[in-house]
Amino acid sequence: MKLEVTPDLRQLVEYAGASGDFYDMHYDLDFARTLGHPDLAVHGLLKAAFLGRLVTDWLGDRGQLVWFEVSYRGMDFRDQPFTCHLEADGTAVELYGESADGRRTTLGRAEVAFHTGVDT
């Protein structure tokens, strides 16, 4: 199961506003460059939210999340495709987010609990 998104500057600004994280490196290119970044980076927590979408789409109303964690191994930048992948084995869920050049920049895991009687 996968989900492909391409966050643009508008989406980064919308996420900054909704989350309250106004760290300049996500919308001020001059600031990002002073930190050595080539472009505006996607918020780690926005990438986590994309992986979270995939988990909740997959889980539906069959159960609930017990925990969900994401580790950021590389940066992703605006206007670049970011593809989220999900593989489930029982209640254990493995996730990763892949940048356009095939790097697994974002690794995730989750544990779910199925409602009683749900066929997993």
Partner 1 sequence: MTIDKLRAAVGWTYREREDVVERRHLRAFRHAIGEDPDDETVPPTFTACFLDEPPPMPEAEAYGLGWLNGGDRFEYHAPLRLGDVIRSRLRFQDVIEKDGKSGKMAILTFVTEFRRPDGELVVRHVGTRIRR
Q: For binding to partner 1 (CB under 8 A), which residues are involved?
A: 5, 11, 14-15, 17-21, 23, 25, 34-36, 43-46, 48-50, 52-53, 55-56, 64-72
* CB 16, min distance to partner 1, A: 8
Beta bridge partners of 91: none
The DSSP H or E segment spanning 56 is helix 44-59
- Of 40 and 55, the one with the shorter C-beta distance to partner 1 is 55
Is residue 47 within 8 Å of residue 82, measured between CB atoms? yes
Neighbours of 108 (CB within 10 A): 24
* CB 34, min distance to partner 1, A: 8
